[in-house]
Amino acid sequence: LFYLISRQIGNMLRLHQMSVEQQKLQKKLEALVGEVEEKNKVLNFISVSDPLTGCLNRRGFMEKALELDKEYAGQTAWILLGDLDHLKEINDTFGHTEGDFAIRRCASVLKEIAGEKGLVGRIGGDEFCVMMVPGKEVSGEADTLEKIRKRIQALNETFNQEYRKPYYVELSIGGVQMVCGSSLALDKVLSGADEKL
């Protein structure tokens, strides 16, 4: 009887030890899964964002624009194409650091124009694309391309007066209105915005 009891106790101790080791392995596995998920988030962010401006890159903009197109189906949105004026002259005369500063400033203006729900993407060296979704209006009146241009111009004028850089930060803007949810063909819409630019 003593022998049987001691064997049972030994088996129970081994089971307990195995359970403790299994819990340690489970915690390690959970930590590794969490680490992989975190790294995937970082990689995903890097793959869709522009490091200079914090805007979306071309791929990220296209993906998010398609998502917003579905989300706001049936509502009118603006697609804008913006171009920083005189970037080559700024780079050649004042250096690439100032050119980068001007690009970041344009991104900041366009983010303000787009609002929290809108999208801003840097799709080329000095080219930006914006998707303004319903809800971002001027004093209750529907936006027109001219109103949007005037708001951008006013923000840039205020910046140029306050910072007094030896160059002007200015944006040329083209845009088209579209109805969301109608099988968004971004290439065609961007082409239309480019014509207005």
pLDDT, residue 6, reads 86
Determine the Cα–Cα distance for residues 103 and 13; give it in Å rounded to an integer: 67
State which amino acid sits at residue 113: I
**Residues in the chain with pLDDT < 50?**
136-141
State if pTM tops 0.85.
no
Give first-to-last CA distance, the chain, whole Å: 94
pLDDT of residue 94: 95
Strand partners, 120: 130
Q: What is the DSSP letter of 140?
A: T
How far apart are the C-alpha atoms of 117 and 135, rounded to whole Å?
A: 9
The whole-number pLDDT of residue 192 equals 72
What are 3-59's pLDDT values in tens digits? Answer: 888 888 888 999 989 999 999 999 998 988 888 888 777 666 667 899 999 999 999
pLDDT of residue 136: 47
pLDDT at 183 (0 to 100): 66
- DSSP for residue 57: -
